Structures are given as structure tokens and as C-alpha cells.
Chain A
Amino acid sequence: QQQVKQSPQSLIVQKGGISIINCAYENTAFDYFPWYQQFPGKGPALLIAIRPDVSEKKEGRFTISFNKSAKQFSLHIMDSQPGDSATYFCAASMAAGGTSYGKLTFGQGTILTVHP
């Protein structure tokens, strides 16, 4: 119930294209869904996050789409650039209540390569 499943494992996109990464969860108590970006040799860093009271959040070229009934959420990167090449992780946590509140659980990660 604590798992977050992420797909695809790797993704190759041409510059200017749209990158889409998907995640699914089981625990309906999750109420915070961040996406992290990781460059080689660095720790993950927060990219964008959403709470389940909204279905979409957009920050620049990055958009999270959230489907509460399907227990799925996705990251869309518009106009993908070579500088976006990195590993992307979705995550989920419960902000309040339960024995695991605050625990941040990550998906397996997606290696994105954007070709020039």
C-alpha cells in the first residue's frame, strides 16, 4: 500500500517534444504528490508538487495532471530541452494522520534523454 509505481523506466524525446511520465499509487491516504529531478552526481531536487484537491498544476513547461479516482498522476514536460535530460522521480506522502505521516515514498525513477 505504500508503493508508488512509475513508468516508463527510460524515455527518449526529441528537442521540442513532449515528455510524459506516469505514476500510480494504491494508498488513498496519500495527499501530497511531488516530482523530483535528479542530475548525475547530485541529490534529487523538488521540481513541482500537487495536492489532490486540484486536477492540474502548471509551472512553466512542467505540468502535473492528477486523477484521484484512478489513483494516477503524471508529469508532462512541454517543449523538452536537452537540459531537461535527467532522472525524474514521482513521490507520495501523507501529510497528516496514521503511523506513516510525513513519510516520503518514491517511484522507481525515469531516465529522460532529450536529443538536440
Chain B
Amino acid sequence: DAGVIQSPRHEVTEMGQEVTLRCKPISGHNSLFWYRQTMMRGLELLIYFNNNVPIDDSGMPEDRFSAKMPNASFSTLKIQPSEPRDSAVYFCASRRGQGYTEAFFGQGTRLTVV
């Protein structure tokens, strides 16, 4: 199994540009999480999907952020327009079920907005 695959690994963009981060969860996993990691705030949960449906998006910072999961094998996190304060490492994670199961993380996307 290739694990959770995120792309791109690194993204540098100018303020105001649209940024799209992509995630392919592990096959058979029906829960998907998007996290943002910064030194100041640690690992923040942005949004959580179960069976492709957003269950909790209370962590999405503002309307500039949106996430979709059109099918069980793909999810996107979009920032439009991007701002320097969005610079962080964004992780996608997936797990089988919602119970006492391990969440597997991707390698992350390091986003830098200049």
C-alpha cells in the first residue's frame, strides 16, 4: 500500500493566488482529515470527512478555505486568495471507520505564501 499520498510536496505562491492541495487516502479508508501544522498552533484540524461527507468543518479558518471530497479516493483543500499567514505544512490523514483505528498521515504539503 502506498499510504496517503499528498501533492504537491512543496508549494510556493504569491499572495492573492489560488492554491489547491491534493490528497489520495488509503484505499478502503472512509474517514479523511485535513490538518494544518505551524510552530505556534501545532496540529489544527481543519475539516473532517466521513464517507465523503464533511462532518465537521469548524476548524476551517475562514471563507478563503474550502475542501471537497468528490469520491472516496480524492480530496482537495483550496485556498483562494492565499495570504502569507497561510504558510504552514498541511497534512491529510485517513482512517478506516471512526472507532479505535489508526489514522495514517501523508507526508504533508509545505506551503509558502510570499
- Whether chain B is bound by chain A comes out as yes
User: Residues of A at under 8 Å CB distance from B?
Assistant: 32, 34, 41-46, 49, 51, 89, 95-96, 99-109
The listed residue (B4, B45, B91) touching A103 by CB distance below 8 A is B45
Interface residues on B, range: 20 to 34
Pairwise interchain contact A44-B105, C-beta atoms closer than 8 A: yes
Chain B interface secondary structure, helix, strand, loop or mixed? strand
Pairwise interchain contact A108-B42, C-beta atoms closer than 8 A: yes
Pairwise interchain contact B105-A32, C-beta atoms closer than 8 A: no
> In the complex where A45-B105, A102-B55 touch, is A51 in contact with B45 (Cβ < 8 A)?
no
List, in ascending order, chain B residues with CB within 8 A of A45's CB.
Answer: 104-105
User: Residues of B at under 8 Å CB distance from A?
Assistant: 4, 31, 33, 35, 41-43, 45, 48, 50, 55-56, 91, 93, 95, 97-100, 102-108
Report the Cα distance A74→B36, complex, angstroms.
24
Q: How far in angstroms is the closest Cβ of chain A from B111?
A: 15
A101, closest chain B residue (CB): B98
Q: Can you name 20 extra interface pairs (CB under 8 A) apart from A45-B104, A46-B102?
A: A32-B99, A42-B108, A43-B4, A43-B91, A43-B93, A43-B108, A44-B91, A95-B98, A99-B55, A100-B55, A100-B56, A101-B98, A102-B31, A102-B50, A102-B55, A102-B99, A103-B45, A103-B48, A104-B33, A105-B45
The listed residue (B48, B98, B100) touching A51 by CB distance below 8 A is B100
List, in ascending order, chain B residues with CB within 8 A of A96's CB.
Answer: 98-99
Pairwise interchain contact A104-B100, C-beta atoms closer than 8 A: no
List, in ascending order, chain A residues with CB within 8 A of B91's CB.
Answer: 43-44
Pairwise interchain contact A99-B100, C-beta atoms closer than 8 A: no
